[in-house]
C-alpha cells in the first residue's frame, strides 16, 4: 500500500482500539474470579502467593510500547503510555497462557459459525 493510500487513524479509531486491548487484558482475571476454587477445603485459610506479581512489564511489552510511542507518541501523555504498557503486558501474558494449552490438530473450535439463510 502506498503512503498516499493510507488512511489517517482518527482519535476515535485509536480510542476504540486502545479500549479493545485494555478490555482483553481483563478477560483472564474475570474468568479466574468467576470460577469457584475447588481445591480449597471448607474452613481452610487461603494461601498467599509466595511472590507478588511483578509490576515491571516484559521486554516484549516494552518493545511494542516503543512502536506505539513512535507512531502516536506526540498524541499521548505519560499516563496514557503507562496504561498502554500495562494493557499490552497483560495481553501478552494472556496469550502466553493460551499458548500453553495443548491442542491437537483434530480438536474442534470452541465456537462454530453457521450462517443462517431464510427459507433454506
33-85, pLDDT tens digit by residue? 555 555 555 555 555 554 445 678 999 999 999 999 999 989 999 999 999 99
Task: Answer yes or no: is 84 within a domain.
Answer: yes
pLDDT tens column, 4-34: 555 676 777 777 777 777 766 666 655 555 5
* Model-wide pTM > 0.85: no
Contact 80, 72 (CB under 8 A): no
Task: Answer yes or no: is 88 within a domain.
Answer: yes
Q: Read off the pLDDT of each residue in 90-118 and give the average, rounded to a whole number.
A: 88
Task: Return d(Cα 27, Cα 97) in angstroms, integer.
Answer: 12
Task: Answer yes or no: is 24 within a domain.
Answer: no
Task: Answer yes or no: is 108 within a domain.
Answer: no
Query: Quick one: pLDDT at residue 51?
Result: 46
Query: Quick one: pLDDT at residue 109?
Result: 81
Task: Answer yes or no: is 89 within a domain.
Answer: yes
Domain assignment of residue 61, given as a range: 56-65+76-94
Query: Quick one: pLDDT at residue 52?
Result: 47
Count how many domains the chain has: 1
Query: Quick one: pLDDT at residue 3?
Result: 54
Task: Answer yes or no: is 40 within a domain.
Answer: no
Task: Return d(Cα 83, Cα 70) in angstroms, integer.
Answer: 16
Task: Return d(Cα 59, Cα 85) in angstroms, integer.
Answer: 11
Closest CA to 66 of 58, 19, 53: 58
Task: Answer yes or no: is 82 within a domain.
Answer: yes
Task: Answer yes or no: is 85 within a domain.
Answer: yes
Amino acid at each position: 500500500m502506498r503512503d498516499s493510500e493510507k488512511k489517517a487513524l482518527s482519535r476515535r479509531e485509536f480510542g476504540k482500539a486502545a479500549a479493545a486491548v485494555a478490555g482483553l487484558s481483563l478477560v483472564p482475571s474475570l474468568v479466574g474470579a468467576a470460577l469457584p476454587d475447588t481445591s480449597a477445603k471448607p474452613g481452610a485459610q487461603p494461601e498467599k502467593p509466595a511472590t507478588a506479581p511483578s509490576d515491571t512489564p516484559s521486554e516484549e511489552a516494552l518493545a511494542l510500547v516503543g512502536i506505539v510511542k513512535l507512531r502516536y507518541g506526540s498524541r499521548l501523555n505519560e499516563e496514557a503510555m503507562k496504561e498502554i504498557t500495562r494493557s499490552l503486558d497483560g495481553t501478552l501474558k494472556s496469550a502466553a497462557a493460551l499458548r500453553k494449552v495443548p491442542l491437537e490438530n483434530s480438536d474442534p473450535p470452541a465456537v462454530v459459525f453457521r450462517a443462517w439463510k431464510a427459507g433454506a
